[in-house]
Structure 1
Amino acid sequence: MSQSALPPRARLMLILPSALPPQDAVALAAAGDVAAAVIRPAEKAPSAAQLRALAQPLQQRDCAVLVEDKPELVAAAGLDGAHADDAALLAKVLKQLKPDGIVGAGGLFTRHAAMEAGESGADYVLFGALAGGDDFARTRALVEWWSPLFEVPCAAVATSLPEVEALANAGADFIVLGEGLLRGADGVAAVRAAQAAIDTAKVTAGTPGDEIAGPDDAP
């Protein structure tokens, strides 16, 4: 594949806890090319005011802010959309937020589930678990299969810097940095290192029509 035919480099997405101080969120977003952040509510759902305070400084940096599985908070908090990490919830979120809001689809661990989500009207599909702990080989295989075949962007969760590089090479549109990478004083350094890995990656995903090995469609 020629250099001119390579797809655009991946951008970063961040998984942020709803209790994170806004200034910490801004520091993370400023450390790389961050397209979006997904806020994960704590066990007790955050208030709209709390979400708004966290979201606004990120949005001022042109970073879209979504909340996980709480579409009812989007309008009240001035968010850009919601991420549905469950196929059963996706239809509800799409009905509530489209056409104006961004809707992401997660909880996708087979090709069949991913295609259904992509056809439903989701703005992106996400491979891997937001909480981490998923089979990374499966996540990468899904990215390699999806990226050359479908127009809907794909995101994938990385829990380590080697995984960031692997997903960038596989052709992911967005690389999602898990909370484990961002937690603590080294979070900003982790974002910078992830951005450096993306900037030096050589995308090797195939062109449409290639047969790329990936997981089967078993539920």
Structure 2
Amino acid sequence: MPPKAAPPRPAPRLYLATPVIDDPSHVAAQLPALLASADVAAVLVRLSPSDPRTMISRIKALAPLIQSTGVALLLEAHADLVARAGADGAHLTGIEALQETLPVLKPDRIAGVGGLSTRHDSMVAGEAGADYVLFGEPDETGDRPSAEAIAERLTWWAELFEPPCVAHAMNIDEARLFAASGADFILVDDIVWTDTRGAALALADIATAIARGHESQGGAERTDPPHGVRGAG
């Protein structure tokens, strides 16, 4: 993987993860205002376990609201449903899941990966063909590295490698820090959906924090979604 070009770096964009969806109507009702409130590059749809037909129906209930705005729709896992549901790609956890799934998704769909506990795992994922690597998400027990450790990992990756890096921000201060540390995308979830002021206002505030973090780094442009896919379903 060749080194990235010199600064200024593109401005980070938002990567919005949904709550785990059983009935998609609640999320569907909020999506138009959410996607109008900030520059969202992609939405990660998380589905509660069910049979494939039911999960595809849930995805298709959300897809027009997302993809019609030029935003990419990715599924958390369920790579086998991506093409059938018209999604743009999938997010996998761990190197083995990525390697098993790449033949299903490539060359037309996005394959992102998280669950990368070491620098070596991150490099293996990039060399295998991941369209992005995710840093900072909690593990199965809810543990995650400190914000400072995540920021250090982002800076290391951004300085050396070509595939985009995504940072999972748990609060607005982390969103600002990770934007300043070299993240290409900032993934947010509960801090949006649980905000008592409303999800759209929460997302707009996070976007402002990201912009301030980016300005402190001296960057300028905008990052397109990984793999160049926008609403390809």
**TM-score of the superposition, structure 1-length normalised?**
0.85
Asked whether the equivalents of residues 15 and 130 of structure 1 are also in contact (C-alpha less than 8 Å), the reply is no
Instruction: Report 1:5-24 matches (<5 A).
Output: 5-17=7-19, 18=21, 19=24, 20-24=26-30
Map 1:100-139 onto structure 2 (within 5 A).
Answer: 100-129=108-137, 133-135=143-145, 136-139=147-150
Q: Match for 2:107 among 70, 86, 99?
A: 99
CA contact (8 A) 1:125 1:155 kept: yes
Change in 2 beyond 3 A, CA 1:79/1:154 = same
CA distance in 2, matches of 1:62, 1:183: 25
Within the alignment, does 1:31 sit opposite 2:31 as a pair? Answer: no
Kept after mapping to 2: 8 A contact 1:159/1:181 = no
Which structure carries more helix by proportion? 2
Q: Give yes or no for contact 1:68–1:84 (8 Å, CA) kept in 2.
A: yes
Whole-angstrom CA distance in 1 between matches of 2:83 and 2:95: 22
Distance 2:124 2:7 in 1: 28
**Root-mean-square deviation (CA), in Å?**
2.0
Indicate yes or no: 2:206 matched with 1:194: yes
* 1:78 aligned onto 2:90: no
Q: How far 1:130 moved relative to its partner?
A: 6.0
| Aligned-pair CA distance for 1:107 | 0.7
- Whole-Å Cα distance in 1 between the matches of residues 112 and 138 of structure 2? 12
> Aligned equivalents of 2:216 and 2:189: distance in 1?
22
Say if 2:95 and 2:124, in contact at 8 Å, map to a contact too: no
Q: Work out whether residues 112 and 132 of structure 2, in 8 Å CA contact, stay in contact via their aligned partners in 1.
A: yes
Question: Which AA in structure 1 matches 2:45?
Answer: I
**Displacement of 1:42:** 1.4
Kept after mapping to 2: 8 A contact 1:160/1:181: no
> Distance between the aligned counterparts of 1:178 and 1:70, measured in 2?
19
**Number of positions where the alignment pairs a residue of Structure 1 with one of Structure 2:** 202
Matched position secondary structure for 2:160: coil
Q: In structure 2, which of residues 90, 98, 102 is the aligned counterpart of residue 90 of structure 1?
A: 98
* 1:53 shift after superposition: 1.2
Quote the Cα distance in structure 2 between the aligned partners of 1:134 and 1:90.
21
Q: Could you tell me how far apart the structure 1 residues matched to 2:175 and 2:195 are?
A: 19
Q: Aligned residue for 1:165?
A: 176
Distance 1:27 1:85, change over 3 A: farther
Unaligned runs of 5+ residues in structure 1 are: 206-219
Cα distance in 2 between the residues matched to 1:26 and 1:70: 25
1:171-210 Cα shifts (integer Å, max 9, x gaps)? 10000012243235522111101111122223549xxxxx
In structure 2, distance between residues paired with 1:204 and 1:116: 28
- Percent identity between matched residues is 37
**SS of aligned partner of 1:51:** helix
**Preserved CA contact (<8 Å) 2:151 2:178:** yes
SS of residue in 2 equivalent to 1:159? coil
TM-score (norm 2): 0.80
> What corresponds to 2:58 in structure 1?
50
Please say if residues 191 and 202 of structure 2, whose CA atoms lie closer than 8 Å, have aligned partners that are also in contact: no
Q: Higher relative contact order by CA 8 Å / sep ≥ 6: 1 or 2? A: 2
User: Structure 1 counterpart of 2:113, which letter?
Assistant: A
